[in-house]
């Protein structure tokens, strides 16, 4: 089962987060690239996302010169799209043609925030949005209509915004079904989750303890004026994101980009095992290889760990190879479907049972919305049941490949209970030879303890995730 990019039509996996998350483009006011051109690209990107393409895939088609600014603006638009769509319905009750609607919603999303957070002066943004409309044959005839709508918004801003206050989708900038699902699954914390989703996630690093230490690497960052705070055992949260090329020793494998929640997988699976003994470990949905690498880093060079990493997509298997090569690690990488062990287990693994299995299952990616703000608009409520079926099938298929007494770590980057606690409880009810070991369960997305005077360790600074560690009864 693959970790493909998020898209609507099929249940798929998340894409890796960008190396340096985009920020609000306040430093782009110099207009080295015309704002109208950026707005045109953002509107095209939104149009494609509405059609079911992932934000990652859409941004890959944007010319490199435009991409940083377009990504920053697109992420801001996606985080305020619910409000923008509610405003558009007031200004134009009849939905305009898709290309016009996308550009209008882009402009409204960038205009409807707090005055201090607007990336550009309102009249500048309106003028440039109209210029963007004039450059495209799909929107040129509607440039005057666009101008009228946006100028009316500037005149009646407060009243129009007030009229959207009772709309949950406008208030929380998530689909209504998503808000209701979170309210049901997390009745005391659903608002916290939604607020976290609308914030920009920080860049988090995982230190390779085979090559450096947390203190040494933090000092190396400080030497080049990059401030960072520890999170977890081997994590550092950067106070500002930077391109990976600027990170000391990145090419040499000193460090990797990985959220703090994902960094919990390797210790959870391997902690307490005798790593001096030969152990066979399966990473069942491995691309792009971050958790595979962390398993090997955590075990250390003296361990007798044999890791098999699977991914159904050969191109994504190349990502695993690249990750391992940069870090100086080795694993067996197979382009294969974890849900069809008959295709690979006997032939490539000799039919030998595994001592430990990591199943990072395909999911809605509802826990990583702050890194991938397109996810909320791509998903449909029906996706949850479809993905839960795939998760259950993978658990059922991989459990027989586990050695008696062995461990299986089931995880998803989801906050929906149907993909987490509900899935595991159903599995335990049907497998008397399985027991649940102490596990984190649902981890909710949060921004850590940044409000504290001395944030020595940012507890809670991680994406939304779910972990359940299952042990098979001894023979």
pLDDT tens digit sequence for 120-174: 899 999 999 999 999 999 999 999 999 999 999 999 999 999 999 999 999 999 9
Look over the chain and give the mean of its residue pLDDT values, rounded to a whole number.
90
pLDDT tens digit sequence for 290-337: 999 999 999 998 888 999 999 999 999 999 999 999 999 999 999 999
Chain Cα centroid distance, residue 407: 26
pLDDT tens digit sequence for 167-221: 999 999 999 999 999 999 999 999 999 999 999 999 999 999 999 999 999 999 9
pTM of the model: 0.89
Measure the CA–CA gap between 410 and 1, rounded to whole angstroms: 14
Active-site residue 285, yes or no?
Answer: no
Measure the CA–CA gap between 1 and 180, rounded to whole angstroms: 29
Measure the CA–CA gap between 327 and 11, rounded to whole angstroms: 31
User: Could you count the other beta carbons within 10 Å of the beta carbon of residue 8?
Assistant: 17
In this predicted structure, the answer to whether residue 94 has a pLDDT above a threshold of 80 is: yes
Under the banding of pLDDT at 50, 70 and 90, the label for residue 31 is very low
Q: Please tell me the predicted confidence (pLDDT) of residue 447.
A: 59
Please state whether beta strands 461-462 and 204-207 pair in parallel, antiparallel, or not at all (unpaired): unpaired
In this predicted structure, the answer to whether residue 450 has a pLDDT above a threshold of 70 is: no
pLDDT tens digit sequence for 251-275: 999 999 999 999 999 999 999 999 9
Residue 305, judged by CB atoms within 10 A of its CB (0-12, 13-18, 19+), counts as: buried
Q: Please tell me the predicted confidence (pLDDT) of residue 20.
A: 36
Closest CA relative to residue 287, chosen from 343, 339, 335: 335
- Strand extents, DSSP E, 175-304: 204-207, 228-231, 235-238, 255-257, 279-283
Single out the catalytic residue among 105, 112, 317, 413.
413
Chain Cα centroid distance, residue 242: 18
């Amino acid at each position: 089962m693959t970790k493909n990019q998020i898209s609507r039509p099929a249940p798929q996996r998340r894409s890796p987060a960008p190396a340096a998350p985009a920020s609000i483009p306040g430093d782009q006011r110099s207009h080295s690239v015309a704002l109208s051109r950026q707005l045109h690209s953002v509107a095209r990107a939104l149009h494609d996302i509405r059609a079911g393409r992932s934000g990652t895939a859409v941004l890959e088609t944007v010319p490199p010169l435009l991409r940083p600014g377009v990504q920053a603006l697109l992420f801001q638009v996606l985080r305020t799209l619910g409000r923008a769509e509610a405003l558009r319905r007031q200004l134009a009750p009849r939905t305009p043609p898709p290309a016009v609607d996308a550009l209008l919603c882009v402009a409204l999303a960038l205009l409807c925030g707090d005055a201090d957070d607007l990336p550009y002066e309102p009249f500048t943004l309106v003028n440039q949005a109209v210029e963007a409309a004039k450059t495209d044959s799909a929107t040129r005839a509607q440039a005057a209509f666009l101008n009228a709508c946006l100028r009316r918004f500037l005149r009646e801003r407060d009243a129009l915004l007030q009229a959207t206050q009772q709309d949950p989708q406008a208030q929380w900038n998530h689909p209504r079904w998503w808000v209701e699902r979170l309210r049901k699954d997390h009745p005391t914390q659903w608002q916290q989750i939604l607020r976290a989703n609308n914030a920009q996630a920080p860049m988090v690093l995982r230190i390779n303890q085979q090559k450096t230490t947390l203190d040494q690497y933090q000092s190396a960052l400080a030497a080049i004026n990059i401030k960072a705070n520890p999170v977890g055992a081997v994590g550092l949260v950067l106070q500002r994101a930077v391109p990976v090329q600027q990170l000391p020793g990145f090419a040499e494998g000193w460090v990797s980009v990985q959220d703090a929640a994902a960094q919990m997988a390797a210790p959870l699976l391997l902690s307490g095992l005798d790593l001096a003994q030969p152990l066979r470990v399966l990473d069942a949905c491995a691309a792009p290889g971050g958790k595979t690498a962390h398993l090997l880093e955590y075990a250390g060079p003296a361990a007798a760990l044999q890791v098999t990493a699977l991914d159904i997509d050969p191109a994504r298997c190349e990502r695993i190879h690249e990750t391992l090569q940069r870090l100086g690690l080795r694993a067996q990488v197979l382009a294969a479907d974890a849900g069809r062990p008959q295709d690979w287990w006997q032939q490539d693994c000799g039919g030998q049972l595994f001592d430990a299995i990591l199943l990072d299952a395909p999911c809605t990616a509802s826990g990583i919305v702050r890194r991938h703000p397109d996810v909320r608009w791509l998903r449909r409520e029906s996706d949850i049941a479809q993905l839960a079926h795939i998760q259950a099938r993978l658990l059922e298929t991989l459990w027989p490949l586990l050695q008696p007494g062995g461990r299986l770590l089931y995880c998803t980057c989801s906050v929906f209970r149907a993909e987490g606690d509900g899935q595991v409880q159903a599995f335990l009810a049907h497998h008397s030879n399985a027991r649940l070991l102490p596990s984190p369960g649902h981890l909710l997305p949060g921004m850590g303890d940044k409000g504290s005077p001395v944030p020595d360790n940012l507890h809670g600074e991680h994406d939304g995730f779910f972990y359940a560690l299952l042990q098979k009864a001894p023979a």
